[in-house]
Structure 1
Amino acid sequence: MLQNATPALILLLLMVAVAFGLKRWRTHLPGALRRQNGPSLQILSTLALGPQQRVVTVQVGEGEQRVCLVLGVAAGSVTALHCLDGSALPPDAPEPTTPGGNTGFAARLAQLTQPNKAQPHAPR
């Protein structure tokens, strides 16, 4: 019985070794993904204009060196629409939150499903 399982076990070990070797080889390739120590990047907001078009507001850098970029993002391109220097930006403020910390669809759904206390029978 062991002689029937031996080729399968050898093949299994060979496949694991090949997978491990390919993973090691990939990390040593030139141009492999490495963490960069560049300026920090933070997405402040996004707005969908269509199925493949968005306007994205991005903050690059920190402190007085930060720059706020408004980018137009489409399927095949990214276009800078506006650039605002850090000296013209207001100081860092806490992000606005809705009750419960939800934003976007979840906040809107919660708003529509909760009864209106001021006008209980008013149309929405």
Structure 2
Amino acid sequence: MLSAWFPLVLAIAVLAAIPFGLKWLQRRFGVGVVGGAVSAKVISAVAVGPHQRVVTVEVGPPDARVWLTLGVTAQNITCLHTSAAGSGSADAAHAPDPSAIQV
């Protein structure tokens, strides 16, 4: 009786091991990674309610970074605004150059 169940149990074990094997191969060989330097960085996060936030993140390759302002809730994420990463805030753009200040 045990010998009749063995092929079925073995097949289920092999099927269950496939996702773990694929994940290991992905980490081992870097499959699916587009450029190692591509990353996301959280610039700011402001809570506007118990389960709502406005989050600004910097994403993209190093030569073309973009800031995304996202509305984040428990159900979804909405892109509210997009700008170039170098633009910064209005205060930073109009701030005087510290090296130009005379003492």
Bigger Rg, structure 1 or 2: 1
**TM-score with structure 2 setting the length:** 0.48
Larger RCO (CA under 8 A, 6+ residues apart): 2
The answer to which structure has the higher strand fraction is 2
**TM-score with structure 1 setting the length:** 0.42
